[in-house]
């Protein structure tokens, strides 16, 4: 059940909790910052403190998790809980820890996403048995080990970042083809 390649404005409005903010500009990429893994560890400690044993998996994913890769200055974190659809089991504690529930996508693996600030965080929450977890971790690990695919992904990101995007999700959707190509190679290497 992969996410569609083109997320419509209607899809974005349906998934977003609260106000939908259009980007209407280019994507700002920063050179890799060695502070990003340190910031992840601080956020991970905060999440573990809030949820305790309900944290079944917690990973730093996305471009900020790949040394040498330029990225939007937003940490992407992946959290697995027993059942992401059961918001009462973790949302109140996450909100008390300073995260804001921003997206709810029941048709895409019951995905939930929180926003955090100081540093900027996108915290993706899935149920522990979700195949998207393995996919995101495999992509990260492959980019860490494959210089050629890391460079391909970086070139794609830089080219796409120069365009004006109505929503950040549109930029993410535009990377789908190269992400799938890289994941195919990563899968063959296992």
pLDDT one-digit tens code per residue, 173-184? 999 999 999 999
Domains and CATH numbers, the chain: 9-188 (3.30.460.10)
pTM of the model: 0.93
Alpha-carbon dihedral of residues 103, 108, 111, 115, nearest 10 degrees? -30
Note the helical H segments in the chain.
9-15, 35-51, 91-96, 131-145, 147-161, 168-174, 176-188
The answer to whether 142 and 125 have CB atoms below 8 angstroms apart is no
Q: What is the pLDDT of residue 187?
A: 87
pLDDT one-digit tens code per residue, 20-69? 999 999 999 999 999 999 999 999 999 999 999 999 999 999 999 999 99
| Confidence band, pLDDT 50/70/90 cuts, at residue 4 | low
């Amino acid at each position: 059940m992969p996410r569609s390649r083109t997320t419509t404005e209607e899809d974005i409005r349906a998934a977003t909790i609260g106000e939908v903010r259009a980007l209407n500009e280019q994507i700002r990429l920063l050179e890799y910052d060695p502070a990003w893994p340190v910031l992840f560890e601080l956020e991970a400690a905060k999440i573990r403190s809030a949820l305790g044993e309900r944290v079944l998996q917690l990973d730093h994913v996305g471009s900020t998790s790949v040394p040498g890769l330029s990225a939007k200055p937003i940490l992407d974190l992946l959290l697995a809980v027993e059942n992401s659809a059961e918001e009462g089991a973790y949302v109140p504690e996450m909100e008390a820890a300073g995260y804001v529930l921003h997206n709810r996508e029941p048709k895409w693996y019951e995905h939930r996403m929180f926003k955090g600030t100081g540093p900027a965080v996108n915290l993706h929450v899935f149920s522990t048995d979700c195949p998207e977890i393995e996919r995101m971790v495999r992509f990260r690990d492959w980019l860490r080990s494959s210089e050629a695919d890391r460079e391909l992904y970086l070139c794609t990101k830089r080219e796409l970042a120069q365009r004006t995007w109505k929503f950040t999700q549109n930029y993410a959707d535009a990377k789908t083809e190269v992400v799938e190509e890289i994941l195919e190679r990563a899968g063959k290497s296992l």
